[in-house]
Amino acid sequence: MARGNPMPVPWGQGKDGMGMALLVVALGGNALLRAGERGTAAEQARHLDEVAPALAALVLGGHRLVLTHGNGPQVGNLLIQQEEAVRLVPPMPLDVCGAETQGLIGYLIQSRLWGALRAAGSDVPVVTVVTQVLVSETDPAFRNPTKPVGPFFSPERARGFMVERNWLMREDAGRGWRRIVPSPEPLRILELDAVRALVEAGAVVVCAGGGGVPVCERQGRLEGCEAVIDKDLASALLAADLGADRLVILTDVERVAIRYGRPDEERLDRVPVSRLRRFQAEGHFPPGSMGPKVEAACRFVERTGREAVIGHLDDAARAAEGVAGTVVVPEEE
Ligand code: ADP
Ligand code: MG
């Protein structure tokens, strides 16, 4: 084992075993960009520098780490570049743009975490895996697209896209016309064995970025889909299939709340999954934001009997230990 690195610990030991060995940590949008920023590489590197020491400390503390991340603003900017340069170079389809953002963000994470690990005395490698995620052609989401992607367009340009590219476009609250794509269920992480092998070899792995590139299988071939998979749902699938000890979803609120934003709001601390499911059924978690995180946490806990945490990026280290954020636990304690 290389200098400064902890002894490898088998994972999947749960609470009673040799400690929490494998963490899947999903980084929310605020790990890379904040409201009002333009999306420069320097901005994103700076935000990653803020969280990298906490991630490095987890590695030094003996955890194996698999990182996932969102890509909304990054793929949005890339789609603008496709359309603005359409007379010069061919625009790439959504699946290819998604793969490009996995490389972009993966590279930035590799770069910033490398520095934090070296500063902490570790030479653990950080590796990005461009990840494809299998979806079903018959997923009902393909008949009911819900996810807005990319820039806002004038009604004239929107009409052009609808006719020439067969895009579904929708008017978005007076801000212009936006493309809407399906958000199908993630079924299988195609690079799962490669990710596992890298983790076993001691690497920190960045994968399933932006939820992974959605692909369908047709007669033994893979075809990229014009769709977007939710990154938290993909992270839950990845974590369960890897046998991770804990799923940690880092976002920009300290805890999941019921009656969120109201004077009688209540922040949840440790919550049994059945209780969280009841709050979910009562409609406390909206689809575009907290909904998929709660669904992801519940799925992981129900499938594995282990804990999932939803917490603030600034509490990364403590959330990963299960002592900050909302900790979703298997049954009533
Ligand atoms: P990320 O980009 O970090 O993956 P989102 O921005 O999609 O996450 O979702 C996080 C947001 O969810 C928070 O900023 C918060 O405003 C919102 N939110 C909605 N409902 C709730 C709730 N019940 N409890 C906590 N936060 C909520
Ligand atoms: Mg966000």
> Ligand 1, closest atom to CA 72?
2
CB atoms within 10 A of CB 98: 29
pLDDT tens for each residue of 312-328: 999 999 999 999 999 99
Take atom 25 of ligand 1 and give the residue whose Cα is closest. 256
pLDDT tens for each residue of 167-217: 999 998 889 999 999 999 999 999 999 999 999 999 999 999 999 999 999
Contact 130, 205 (CB under 8 A): no
- For residue 64, pLDDT over 50 is answered with yes
Share of the chain above pLDDT 70, in %: 93
List, chain by chain if needed, residues with CB within 6 Å of any ligand 1 atom: 28-30, 70, 251-253, 256-257, 260, 284-286, 289-290
- For residue 223, pLDDT over 60 is answered with yes
Query: Picking from 2-6, 23-27, 145-149, 216-220, which range would have the lowest pLDDT averaged per residue?
Result: 2-6
CA within 13 Å, CB half, 282:
11
Take atom 2 of ligand 1 and give the residue whose Cα is closest. 29
- For residue 17, pLDDT over 50 is answered with no
Mean pLDDT of 17-45: 89
Please tell me which residue, 206 or 12, carries the higher pLDDT value. Answer: 206
Q: What backbone phi and psi angles, to 5 degrees, belong to 66?
A: -120, 125
Mean pLDDT of 272-301: 97
- For residue 2, pLDDT over 70 is answered with no
Take atom 27 of ligand 1 and give the residue whose Cα is closest. 290
d(CA 197, CA 212): 18
Cα–Cα distances in Å, from 189 out to 113, 203, 211, 299? 24, 18, 10, 16
Write down the pLDDT at residue 5.
67
Where residue 16 falls among pLDDT bands split at 50, 70, 90?
A: very low
Ligand lying nearest the CA atom of residue 233: 1
> Ligand 1, closest atom to CA 252?
14
d(CA 100, CA 313): 24
